[in-house]
Amino acid sequence: MKKYALFLIILITIGCEKSDQFTSVEGYITDYYSKEPVPGIPLLITEYRPFLYPSVDTEDTVFSNSDGYYYYEFFNKEDRNYKIENLQTETYYSQKDASTIAEGKTNTINFAIKPFKSLTLNCYNQSKTFNRLRIYSHIDESEYIRNPCEEFETFDFNIVPEFENDFYIGLVHYNENNEADSTKGEHFIFYSGINDTTINYYY
């Protein structure tokens, strides 16, 4: 009987420790190229339940300070997992590649983030087949529409250096009754070098 009571106490103790663990995560946010600290970057901490949908229970945000440092602490819940990712800003890109936070431990997770750079996209309407042009960037979700489009159009986009920048280009021809009688859509993927500033697209 005494052994049984002792066994129950051990189980209860283990259960309490598991569901009441102190967890922390800290690290530095630096510029991928300059290695300098980046202040004001938001980081999203997500609590979720694996194998369930919807899996997200709570979300919280912390920001890097003037030294690029961030710190977040919490008591993790039983049967919950946690992850952290940096969020995209106007000047820095996020690959939305979250890192796992180990429960009950002091985690150190650093982020080296790539800055956006400006790219000029020149579009040449060589075929004269289409008179409406739509360009959408999957990187920062910006969009341009030219209706009607000229023989030459130019656009400025944010891109990520040394990365596959994906654009969707939609082309339409409207007839004299303002009806679309010809359409074309394609993905235009451009791998940007560090020093690239201009690319050309012909249609």
Please indicate, yes or no, whether residues 71 and 103 belong to a single structural domain of this protein: yes
Residue 2 domain flag: no
The pLDDT of residue 193 is above 70? yes
Say what the pLDDT of residue 5 is: 47
Please indicate, yes or no, whether residues 31 and 102 belong to a single structural domain of this protein: yes
Residue 3 domain flag: no
Say what the pLDDT of residue 54 is: 64
Q: What does the block give as tokens for 193? A: 């070098």
pLDDT digits (tens, 9 = 90+) for 87-140: 999 999 998 889 999 999 999 999 999 999 999 999 999 999 999 999 999 999
Please indicate, yes or no, whether residues 134 and 160 belong to a single structural domain of this protein: yes
Please indicate, yes or no, whether residues 98 and 144 belong to a single structural domain of this protein: no
Please indicate, yes or no, whether residues 133 and 181 belong to a single structural domain of this protein: yes
Q: Is the torsion defined by CA of 33, 35, 41, 44 positive or negative?
A: positive
30 or 51, higher pLDDT: 30
The CATH number assigned to the domain holding 85 equals 2.60.40.10
Strand-pair partners of 184: 171
Contact 185, 170 (CB under 8 A): yes
Residue 179 domain flag: yes
Containing 20, the helix (H) or strand (E) segment is: none
20 or 175, higher pLDDT: 175
Contact 171, 185 (CB under 8 A): yes
Contact 182, 191 (CB under 8 A): no
Please indicate, yes or no, whether residues 48 and 130 belong to a single structural domain of this protein: no
Please indicate, yes or no, whether residues 44 and 101 belong to a single structural domain of this protein: yes
The CATH number assigned to the domain holding 190 equals 2.60.40
Please indicate, yes or no, whether residues 106 and 180 belong to a single structural domain of this protein: no
Tell which of 98, 113, 128 closes a domain. 113
Contact 120, 190 (CB under 8 A): no
pLDDT bin (cut points 50, 70, 90) of residue 8 is very low
Tell which of 53, 78, 113 closes a domain. 113
Q: Classify strands 143-146 and 180-191 as parallel, antiparallel or unpaired.
A: unpaired
Question: Could you give the angle at the alpha carbon of 64 between the alpha carbons of 63 and 69, nearest 5°?
Answer: 140
Domain span including residue 122: 117-202
pLDDT digits (tens, 9 = 90+) for 36-81: 999 999 999 999 988 877 688 889 999 999 999 999 999 999 889 9
Q: What does the block give as tokens for 138? A: 């999957």
Please indicate, yes or no, whether residues 102 and 148 belong to a single structural domain of this protein: no
Strand-pair partners of 121: 155, 199
Please indicate, yes or no, whether residues 163 and 94 belong to a single structural domain of this protein: no
Please indicate, yes or no, whether residues 83 and 145 belong to a single structural domain of this protein: no
Residue 1 domain flag: no
Q: What share of the chain is helix, strand, coil (3-state, %, to 5)?
A: 10, 50, 40
Tell which of 50, 78, 113 closes a domain. 113
Q: CA-CA distance, 49 to 82, in Å (whole number)? A: 9
pLDDT digits (tens, 9 = 90+) for 158-175: 999 999 999 999 999 999
Please indicate, yes or no, whether residues 96 and 135 belong to a single structural domain of this protein: no
Amino acid at 53: Y
Amino acid at 36: E
Amino acid at 134: R
